[in-house]
Amino acid sequence: MISAKKIEELAKQVTDSMPDGLKDFANDMEDRTKMVLQRKLSQLDVVTREEFDVQTQVLIKTRAKLTDLEAKVTALEIKLAEK
């Protein structure tokens, strides 16, 4: 997710690129742009990087357990087939 700092930097770049006569208008636009961007970004169905990393580790562990269980099931099937 885009951080508030990045949104602020983007809004500031837009403001800085405007002529001096439009600075008041630009400041108002900067505030409104930040507000709209933050509202829209909060509506997105996203997770934080930390949550993503945690779930990635959970998935890695789950896959390892699944591989182990598959090997055990295969070994048991071979034993049953031998009898």
For residues 33 and 55, what is the distance between their CA atoms, to the nearest angstrom? 33
Enter the tokens of residue 14.
């837009």
Q: What is the pTM of this model?
A: 0.48
Of 16, 12, 44, 18, the residue nearest 31 (C-alpha)? 12
For residues 17 and 19, what is the distance between their CA atoms, to the nearest angstrom? 7
pLDDT of res. 46: 82
pLDDT of res. 1: 63
Q: What is the DSSP letter of 17?
A: T
For residues 23 and 26, what is the distance between their CA atoms, to the nearest angstrom? 5
The string of pLDDT tens digits covering residues 19-69 is 777 778 777 888 899 999 889 888 888 888 999 999 999 999 999 999 999
